[in-house]
Chains A and B, each alone.
Chain A
């Protein structure tokens, strides 16, 4: 528990640093700790793509109980990665957001059950992240009347291993591999992949508040352009990209390993391929926004339809 005290000190110092130089640097906040999920941004920074666009980008990872939307709304960062459904929830709640770059073209959420088909375990105790990323699971819960007992956790793998929860949400690029690494028995039977069952909603995109975007439209476009270059470079140089990722996780004291990061990078790059064209288009799909809006309305997660046009830059 001493961890909490240390985190508090660290967070305060970094936030202060960001505030002092807010006018000049472009502060970007990925939604999780350093990992291959954000390899494209590391590459854009390290390969000088941001610099070529005239940007002084600072990548600031959040801590456990800090969400990207908080830092975005508070102005602690200029842009942040947010999942599409989470962004739509924010827009519905009155925070207009602009999607300046869409990296994910497929949904990565899975449910892993300790035994049996997750959809047959009604009322089960299912772990979900305290930080969010669970809107699509809530939609499924509602639609299928699963009546899951959601348990919000900071990290879910240990609780799953210890048997404290019956099932858990997981990202196919992260927790799924962590569970495998913990020796969990995962078969086709006890895994539910949302993308395979009509729930293929795009995940990660880079968002700015509408206000910030209007103020710094040019910087936003340059950041999106350089970030896209970064991801394309990663796709072309996965080995070098993995080395970069390992530098970042080491610098950020993340307890992970190269195997996990390689698996994550491979999966992330695969999720970036458009399910129809098979290309890396980096664009938000209106059909997925429409589908997500319908599902969230039905599940009661939003009070009104959120349109594609509300999310794209104007």
Chain B
């Protein structure tokens, strides 16, 4: 297999090049505008691009993903409103810097370290994924099952709220994914006599509802928040400044890549961990953390962009999403008839190298668009939400309808939008629902394979887990997540 032609494919095909550029450009704005999120944009986009060839569809989505993760930092710095969850830590020092009239400097350094972090993550993906996929071939069905459970629990526990609510959300997602005819026995599951449910619930409708509609409904609570104007100049940072922060940037990128590669985590957790680490290792910052420390910008931004490449590692090697956006990407690959996992890496390595090339190109476009066009950017960000939110809703409805040209999907979208709205209000994380929907089939298939291979003997399956070092490690990880999130653990730690 020739790696280079596939790696350079996005560069040699003008249409793909243009789509990555357009995606990155749009992603920066999507990530930056409060109320719009990358997850929302990619889930709406799937419904419009599913009739496309897989390469252009992926090119556009990768551009939006890369641009969006970076774009979230813009409003975090300018308005103290993180455009994306991965930019929460950026606001802590970014906004104080902007208040001191140094918004341009903050945006400049963030752009450069995001670019560096992005490339570290991509290098890790290119270097580690082929090795990991070879290793993943040794996975037994029970290992895939445990890995899926671990991913859902991790995202549930790290979403900030209660683990019980995270577990409920994950189980709900698996249940939604099971609706329809069982693919093995053609038996109805959760159909309630409705023919519309036999084909299952479109996960795109669930995603648009949960991430698009529910987010728009939440934004209605503060629709009249006035836009804050900032003066921005001198964006391109000096080489001396970049060199000064390079060691911290590289360290944070490594954190971002590792955390991003854990199934179910993502840029938001990576950036918070990198910020925390930066606080510990920076002995004498010019400005204290929380008051405008440049180190407080470098660490989270290098980490969250490195996490993009990292999140693709479990997605490509195991078929387990690294975060909510890669969960949606897995959905997109399914729609295009591809099955992410070790076999995809072996049977279609061209797809893998195309993704690596597209990510690298999107990262370059991010640097280019990040350091230019700031005037236009400020204008777009000031777009009132009273106009923006109805437009998002129209796009969500059109997106849901376009999946199957069916109004049923629009009603599902609305139903899940309302459910997602209440779940958000009462502290239930939504990412485990989506992860559950995506991983439902994998979990179900592998559970049945595992139990059939032991002739329905649950004890024998447990013995298999305890005697295999890999299965045992995964089981221990699942137990650890549950134990460390329990109230008993908190009480024990508090003593």
Q: Do A and B come from one complex?
A: no
By a beta-carbon cutoff of 8 Å, the part of chain A in contact with chain B is none
By a beta-carbon cutoff of 8 Å, the part of chain B in contact with chain A is none
